[in-house]
Structure 1
Amino acid sequence: MDTSLTRQLTSRTVLRAVFERAPVSRAELARLTGISKQAMSEIVGTLEHEGWVQQSGKTQGAIGRSAMNYEPNPRKALFLGVDVGGTKVHAALADLSGSVLEESCEPTDARGGMHLVDQITRIHAELLQRSGIHAEKVKGGVVGIPGAVHPATRRLHMVPNIPGLTDIPVESLLYERLGFPVFIDNDVNLAAKGEQRLGHGKSIDNYVFIALGTGVGMGIVNEGRVVRGAHGAAGEISTLPVGADPFDSRIFKAGALESSVGSIAIKARYEGLGGEPGLTVRAIFDRASDPAASIVIDEVSRVIAAAIVAVAAVLDPQTVIFGGSVGARWELIDRVEYHLARCMPAPPACALSTLGSQAGLLGCISVALERFREILFQLPAPGFDATSASEHMRA
């Protein structure tokens, strides 16, 4: 084997061990990889010189001896995460450790389409300017969109709340504008990933994240991996035939479940029972002691429980994590649990997201880190550098 290729493969093995075991000493790296201590000193020195690793303190060894520990340099590569919703765009720059360096939140451009692409491009430039970070440091990005992404064509579909996105190649356009690869995914899938990294999903291999708000969506984590489906539409539970007649053409686009438990439906139910017109969903829930509000919460919870029965029959999740402006209300989840106990012998646990409105953004960052690391350690040598890995993230 070519000497340079062998050296690159060896360096990659060591770097991977640093990523997985940090903080770690050179002696421990030698033990883990089977590389001699003398060769390890040279490899770690090179990785430190190239900016991949940095010293992180010492570990006390035998009496009178200590060893320097090493960890990945978090500023070697940075990433853009953007959580796009129907009402707001939440974006951040993060480093290799997942730490947010700068973030921004502003209303979504209601015109959608190319206007949204322009908005994301502008936000990225503003984040760079505020942070003082050079653009070439950013090696990849992940954008969450409330819709489905076809895994083969990478085109968006089922995007009811933002116009014009199904007509343009959003992923390719952002790559051209930003200068680094961008991966588009469903926003609820990304929220599920956020929970996996920092929330209730950290110690669970099988769970679903249900987002309830203006729309209804679900992210599926099965055996530790996000399930996206043949057309990228796995988890689009808004169309479940629960809560309304799925053959009613008036709800064809929204879906039976969403038309029954989405925020528009909640307000309509409340006003239909004689409740004060014009209230927000938040205000309705804040009036939980109001008889009309109490009835609505119970009705919506019963429909959601029926939907979870259908989900559990197919996916058998250990836990259902709730998020979104409606799903984050404990008044709702308490009633969902009550109804589940009446229609399932062993219902899954229910939990409120601990990440709140940050779940989607943190999921974007988590996926960006995962993609970069996976590709970095799969790259065929030569090309063992952050820029090469960035170029391959597009694949």
Structure 2
Amino acid sequence: MDFSSVPMSRQITLRTVMRTVMDRGPISRAELARITGLSKQTMSEVFRFLEDDGWLEVTGRTQGAVGRSAATYEITPNRALVFGADVGGTKIQAALADMNGKIVAESVEATDPRGGEHVMSQLVSLNASLAEKAGLAPERVMVGTVGIPGAYNRKTGKLIMVPNIPDLEGVPLQAILTERMGCMVHIGNDVNMAAKGEQWLGEGKGFSNFVFIALGTGIGMGIINERQILNGARGAAGEIATLPIGADPFDSRTFHSGALETMVGSAAIRDRYESYGGTPGLSVRDIMDRIDAGDERARATVGEVARNIAAAILAVSAIVDPERVILGGSIGARPELLERVRAALPLCMPSPPECTISQLGSRAGLYGTLANSIDHMRENLFELPRYAPLEMQAVPEAPK
């Protein structure tokens, strides 16, 4: 079929039918016609196309009156795939998922320490190798999303604030990956993607407004506001490391990490513990483990961190008013910290939001990239030029 000849009205009709089947399937033609308001003739034409092109399949029959039944349809899950990759300073988690969100192939490998071009090539290679691993044609990958520990400025199309991966600062990553992968690729901040993962499969499911705070070596936050990721003007919304809490924001020593991060990051926790007279050289995990053993210095250290986190939640609540705060990361996921944050919040605000710990762990970011890709696929399915075969699509010129 020459997709360039498909009128806009038909694109909308195809998307409407597919979304309805995704949400309501298995479903019969009659029920689809009733829900969508489409005529029998239009429905027959749409189904002819969707069945012939492999988008829908018969999976059963309705149980109606004696002697009467109708075929029920569901989407063919692997007719289209989505790609997701959570890129960190040390490793990349990547996966392909089908139209139902089921992961069909995944891989974890070390992030190329050379950064830049090498990491981009790594992502392109991962996309192809995952399709091969799943036994499916790479052309079936319709949309991709990559989570990066930095901010993506949608206006300039370039990355900013990418300290952990060399030679990505200022790179038009979306344009490059879209060209090389042969499908639309979206770029998002890694903590925003983790928040998206929590919304899809985690502690944010069912909440319209919540924040995900990742606390480990540093601190970052993803904001879901009215069920949408809040990105900000430069893609830097949620960079709470710079909140003027716990340290003087005018002190140039806090410029690199931010005032809050210098008080609650892993290095700050170790420094504070040792300044209280604690055993030198312990990891943050060791310090946390010592709380139950009765180490008062460890308790004081984590208590101070909790107070600063509570103050940050107070500031965040004044701006975005979240229903729930989800803590994650190697430090944020510790129940010892959660207990103390919960105790500190009522001391600094009258109606604190509910606080909990992520159950998705390090996979939240990967799930978020897949969820973001699925959202974009559902939105743009059958929309030209994305739906057209790759040889018919206008591929952007390689950035200089």
Q: Deviations over 1:373-395 (max 9, x none)?
A: 21226x36xx694647x96999x
Counterpart of 2:106 in structure 1 is 103
1:130 correspondence with 2:128: no
**Aligned to 1:71, which of 61, 70, 74?**
74
1:308 aligns with 2:313: yes
Count of equivalent residues: 388
Letter in 1 for 2:303: D
Equivalent of residue 342 in structure 1, options 335, 340, 347: 347
| Pair 1:14 & 2:17 matched | yes
Q: Deviations over 1:121-173 (max 9, x none)?
A: 33333323322222211122100011111111121112222222114222222
Worse overlay, 72-81 or 362-371 = 72-81
RMSD: 2.3
* Contact 1:175 1:181 (C-alpha < 8 Å) held by counterparts: yes
2:157 partner amino acid: R
The answer to whether residue 357 in structure 2 is matched with residue 352 in structure 1 is yes
Asked whether the equivalents of residues 77 and 386 of structure 1 are also in contact (C-alpha less than 8 Å), the reply is no
Tell me the residue number matched to 2:331: 326
Q: Secondary structure at the match of 1:60?
A: coil
Structure 1 alignment gaps of length 5 or more: none
Counterpart of 1:270 in structure 2 is 273
Aligned residue in 1 for 2:253: 250
Q: 1:150 to 1:16 in 2, by over 3 A?
A: same
Note the C-alpha offset of 1:42.
Answer: 4.4
- TM-score, normalized by length of structure 2? 0.90
Structure 1 residues 141, 263: closer, same or farther in 2, change over 3 A?
A: same
Q: Determine if contact 1:139/1:386 at 8 Å carries over to the other structure.
A: no
TM-score, normalization by structure 1: 0.91
1:31 corresponding residue in structure 2:
34
With over 3 angstroms needed to count, the CA separation of the structure-2 counterparts of 1:193 and 1:9, relative to structure 1, is: closer
Displacement of 1:78 in angstroms is 1.0
**Distance in 1 between residues matched to 2:180 and 2:49, nearest whole Å:** 34
Match of 2:90 in 1: 87
User: Aligned partners of 1:4, 1:118: CA distance in 2, in Å?
Assistant: 35
CA displacement 1:39-65 (0-9 Å, x = unmatched): 534432331121111223233223454
Contact 2:144 2:185 in 1 (8 A): yes
Q: Name 1:233's counterpart in structure 2.
A: 236
Which runs of 5 or more residues in structure 2 are unaligned?
Answer: none
1:91-170 correspondence runs (5 A): 91-170=94-173
Where 2:57 maps in the other structure, the secondary structure is strand
Q: What amino acid is the match of 1:264?
A: A
Given that residues 386 and 393 in structure 2 are in contact (C-alpha distance below 8 angstroms), is that contact kept between their aligned partners in structure 1?
no
SS of the residue aligned with 1:235?
coil
% identity of equivalent residues: 55
Q: Structure 1: how far apart are the matches of 2:39 and 2:370? A: 36
Which residue of 357, 368, 387 maps to 1:363? 368
Q: Which amino acid is 1:358 matched to? A: R
CA distance in 2, matches of 1:341, 1:348: 10
Write the distance in 2 (CA, Å) between the matches of 1:104 and 1:238.
31
Query: Matched residues in 2 for 1:300 and 1:13: separation?
Result: 50
Amino acid at match of 2:255: F
Query: SS of 1:165's equivalent?
Result: coil
Q: CA deviation at 1:299?
A: 1.0
C-alpha contact (below 8 Å) 2:132/2:138 kept by paired residues? no
SS in structure 1 at match of 2:169: helix
Q: Which has the higher contact order (CA 8 A, sep 6+)?
A: 2
Which sits farther off after the overlay, 120-129 or 240-249? Answer: 120-129
Residue 62 and residue 279 in structure 1: after superposition, are their counterparts in 2 closer, same or farther (change >3 A)? farther
Q: Secondary structure at the match of 1:83?
A: strand
Give the CA deviation at 1:263. Answer: 1.4
In the TM superposition, what whole-angstrom CA distance separates every residue of 1:229-255 from its partner, at most 9, and x where no partner exists? Answer: 111111110100011111111120210
Equivalent-residue separation in structure 2 for 1:313 and 1:393 (angstroms) = 44
3-state secondary structure, aligned to 1:369: helix
TM-superposed CA distance for 1:311, in Å, is 0.5
Query: Within 1, Cα distance between the matches of 2:269 and 2:69?
Result: 63
Q: Distance in 2 between matches of 1:393 and 1:259?
A: 44
Is the contact made by 1:213 and 1:327 (CA closer than 8 Å) also made in structure 2? yes
Shift of 1:8: 5.0
Cα drift, residue 4 of structure 1: 6.1
Give me the whole-angstrom Cα distance separating, in 1, the residues matched to 2:335 and 2:251: 31
Cα distance between partner residues in 2 of 1:308 and 1:259: 17
